[in-house]
Amino acid sequence: MEIKIEVASLKHQHFANQICLLMEEAAQQRGTGIAKRSPEYIASKLAIGHAIIATKGNQLAGFSYIESWSHGNYVANSGLIVHPNYRKSGLAKKIKEGVFTLSKKLYPDAKIFGITTSMAVMKINSDLGYVPVPISALTTDDTFWSGCKGCVNYDILKRTNRQHCLCTGMLYDPQKKPVQSRMAKVRRWNNFRRFLRLKRKRMMRKLRA
Q: What is the CATH number of the domain that holds 195?
A: 3.40.630.30
Instruction: Check residue 27 and give its pLDDT.
Output: 74
> Average pLDDT over the chain, rounded to whole?
86
Instruction: Check residue 185 and give its pLDDT.
Output: 77
pLDDT in tens, 151-194: 777 888 888 888 778 788 889 999 886 666 777 778 878 887 88
Residue 71 clears pLDDT 80, i.e. is over it: yes
| More confident call, 161 vs 106 | 106
Instruction: Check residue 161 and give its pLDDT.
Output: 83
Q: Which three-class secondary structure state does DSSP give residue 152?
A: coil
Closest CA to 135 of 173, 103, 168, 176: 168
- Full-model pTM: 0.80
Neighbouring C-beta atoms of residue 10, cutoff 10 Å? 11
Q: What is the mean pLDDT of residues 127-152?
A: 82
Phi, psi (deg, nearest 5) at residue 207: -75, -25
Residue 147 clears pLDDT 70, i.e. is over it: yes
Instruction: Check residue 12 and give its pLDDT.
Output: 97
Residue 42 clears pLDDT 80, i.e. is over it: yes
**What is the domain range of residue 34?**
4-208
Number of domains in the chain: 1
Closest CA to 55 of 25, 119, 98: 98
Closest CA to 199 of 170, 158, 174: 170
Neighbouring C-beta atoms of residue 25, cutoff 10 Å? 14
Angle CA(12)–CA(17)–CA(23) in degrees, nearest 5? 105
Residue ranges of E strands in the chain: 4-7, 51-56, 59-69, 74-82, 111-116, 131-133, 168-172
